[in-house]
Amino acid sequence: MALSQLFTKKHMAVLTSAVCFVILDRFLKALAITLGQEKVLIKNWLDFSLIKNNNAAFSLTLGFDIVWLAIIITLLAIIWLGFSLKKKEYLISLALAMLILGSLSNIYDRIIYGAVIDYFSFANLNIFNLADVLIVVGAIILLYKEFKAKN
């Protein structure tokens, strides 16, 4: 069965955007590695630089190798994606696809570089990359669907 049979045009547009986001994320990670130095994009607000994040999300330290946990969670999300496609739960499927794509990009970093490559520093508070954005947006959509289903 082709993807076009599983998703509407609207859903395909969102999925295509997510794939483009990952491609842009990989490009920006390569650029950060190549430049290696900080570039101010918007003074006192947004900087672009190479930041290697050895910790988990939000720079939390877990005391164990996060790669295996990330791989297991991603595999579970892939299985959930298969079930949601069978049930024609398209919004959940898109959210899971976003989570999976973002996770795979960050898992790749951990395997190849030993840390996730972050490159945006927001107001010197948050450090993130576009894969993180995909993961967060996917999680928000899943939470929204869960709360909507309960109400």
Q: Three-state DSSP class for 125?
A: coil
Catalytic residue among 25, 47, 109, 118: 118
| Residue carrying the six token digits 């909507």 | 148
Q: Is 25 a catalytic site residue? A: no
Q: Which two structure tokens, joined as six digits, stand for 125?
A: 């508070």
Q: Give the separation between CA 31 and CA 136, rounded to whole angstroms.
A: 23
Q: Is 109 a catalytic site residue? A: no
Strand positions, DSSP E, the chain:
39-42, 46-53, 116-122, 126-128
Helix (H) or strand (E) holding 148: helix 130-150
Catalytic residues: 118, 132
